[in-house]
């Protein structure tokens, strides 16, 4: 009894001493494993560069911005960087169906029904998770791949489907990503940065005011859609995220090149708006 009692007393201080060492050891092991996936020579990254070079460039910029945001609010920057690297690997299944990888000329979606186009776009998330799992990506990275679009609506093809439907009923759910919505601050950051990077490339004569307005609109839109309802993203964090992105983009946008696909999207959007105005003017005569 005496020795057992003494041993019990000794166990407490020993555990208190060893616990921080164990935590450091586990953290180091985890960081070591993660660093393996930060290597741009990883087979998935090499494949992405070869099959979808514009998507690869997008992921590099997203990684830079996401890491800057993570540092600003104290999020997991290593997870954010690696999650950004791999978030769009699913596009490798059908790279030409994603506008950034289309060369000038005919859009591959022109001959498709909008519902089929939306399905192809949406499926890149599912395929990305499947591919990442095959390549043994960490579950925390796979979560970011699965959640970076949440349950958002693929608006472009939904709008096209509405126009083509001529009043017949459409299921909005068919044009939404399956989710889940972001479950962590890191997933929410990736969602925001992914959208901001894509939108920023088509900005004309960007000023700080225009950049901030664009970012705030994208954030508010996702808040209104309930995309951040399941993660602990405070208004204080959101303010820092917006500010960091404005600061990071302000200088870099002046030297960026607009992709050919963004010019086509812009022209198509203008044409659609003009067509809507023309139809309304005819219907009111």
Span 131-188, pLDDT tens digits:
999 999 999 999 999 999 999 999 999 999 999 888 778 899 999 999 999 999 999 9
What's the rounded Cα separation, in Å, for the pair 13 and 156?
Answer: 62
Average pLDDT of the segment spanning 234-244? 97
Residue 17 within any structural domain of the chain = no
* Banded pLDDT at 30 (limits 50, 70, 90): low
SS (H, E, C) the chain: CHHHHHHHHHHHHHHHHHHHHHHHHHHHHHHHHHHHHCCCCCHHHHHHHHHCHHHHHHHHHHHHHHHHHHHHHCCCHHHHHHHHHHCCHHHHHCHHHCHHHCCCCCCCCCCCCHHHHHHHHHHHHHHHHHHHHHCCCCHHHHHHHHHCCCCCECHHHHHHHHHHHCCCCCCHHHHECCCCCCCCHHHHHHHHHHHHHHHHCCCCCCCHHHHHHHHHHHHHHHHHCCCCCCCCCCHHHHHHHHHHHHHHHHHHHHHCCCCHHHHHHHHHHHHHHHHHHHHHHHHCC
CATH value at residue 158 = 1.10.3210
Winning range, highest mean pLDDT, from 8-12, 68-72, 102-106: 68-72
Residue 61 within any structural domain of the chain = yes
Q: Which of 45-49, 141-145, 205-209, 235-239 has the lowest mean pLDDT?
A: 205-209
What's the rounded Cα separation, in Å, for the pair 275 and 269?
Answer: 10
Query: What pLDDT, on a 0 to 100 scale, did the predictor assign at position 9?
Result: 46
- Inform me whether the pLDDT recorded for 22 exceeds 60: no
Two tokens, residue 95 = 């790279």
Measured CA to CA in angstroms, residue 152 lies from 17, 92, 186, 223 at distances of 48, 21, 17, 11
- Inform me whether the pLDDT recorded for 84 exceeds 60: yes
Residue 169 within any structural domain of the chain = yes
What mean pLDDT value characterizes the chain? Answer: 84
Query: What pLDDT, on a 0 to 100 scale, did the predictor assign at position 180?
Result: 98
Query: What pLDDT, on a 0 to 100 scale, did the predictor assign at position 109?
Result: 85
Structural domain containing residue 200? 39-269
Please tell me which residue, 201 or 126, carries the higher pLDDT value: 126
Residue 56 within any structural domain of the chain = yes
Of residues 195, 267, 272, 275, the one with CA closest to residue 227: 195
Q: Which of 105-109, 171-175, 187-191 has the lowest mean pLDDT?
A: 105-109
Residue 23 within any structural domain of the chain = no
Residue 281 half-sphere exposure, CB side, CA atoms within 13 Å? 6
Residue 139 within any structural domain of the chain = yes
Residue 121 within any structural domain of the chain = yes
Residue 104 within any structural domain of the chain = yes
Q: How many domains does the chain have?
A: 1
- Inform me whether the pLDDT recorded for 26 exceeds 50: no
Supply the pTM of this predicted model. 0.80
- Inform me whether the pLDDT recorded for 119 exceeds 50: yes
* Banded pLDDT at 99 (limits 50, 70, 90): confident
Angle value at C-alpha 212, between 207 and 214, nearest 5 degrees: 95
């Amino acid at each position: 009894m005496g020795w057992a009692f003494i041993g019990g007393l000794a166990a407490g201080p020993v555990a208190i001493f060893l616990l921080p060492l164990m935590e450091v050891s586990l953290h180091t092991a985890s960081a070591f494993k993660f660093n393996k996936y930060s290597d741009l020579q990883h087979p998935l990254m090499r494949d992405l560069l070869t099959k979808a070079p514009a998507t690869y460039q997008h992921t590099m910029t997203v990684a830079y911005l996401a890491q800057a945001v993570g540092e600003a609010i104290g999020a997991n920057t290593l997870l954010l960087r690696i999650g950004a690297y791999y978030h769009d690997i699913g596009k490798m299944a059908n790279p030409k169906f994603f506008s950034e990888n289309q060369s000038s000329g005919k859009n591959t979606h022109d001959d498709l029904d909008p519902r089929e186009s939306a399905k192809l776009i949406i499926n890149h998330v599912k395929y990305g998770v499947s591919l990442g799992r095959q390549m043994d990506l960490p579950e925390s990275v796979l979560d970011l791949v699965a959640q970076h679009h949440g349950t958002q609506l693929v608006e472009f093809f939904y709008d096209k489907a509405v126009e083509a439907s001529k009043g017949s009923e459409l299921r909005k759910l068919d044009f939404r990503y399956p989710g889940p919505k972001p479950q962590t601050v890191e997933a929410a950051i990736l969602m925001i940065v992914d959208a901001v990077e894509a939108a920023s490339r088509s900005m004309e004569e960007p000023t700080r005011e225009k950049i901030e307005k664009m970012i705030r609109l994208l954030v508010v839109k996702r808040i209104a859609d309930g995309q951040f309802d399941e993660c602990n993203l405070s208004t204080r964090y959101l303010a820092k995220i917006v500010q960091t992105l404005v600061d990071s983009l302000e200088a870099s946008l002046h030297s960026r090149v607009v992709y050919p696909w963004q010019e086509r999207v812009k022209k198509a959007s203008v044409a659609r708006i003009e067509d809507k105005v023309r139809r309304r003017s005819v219907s009111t005569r």
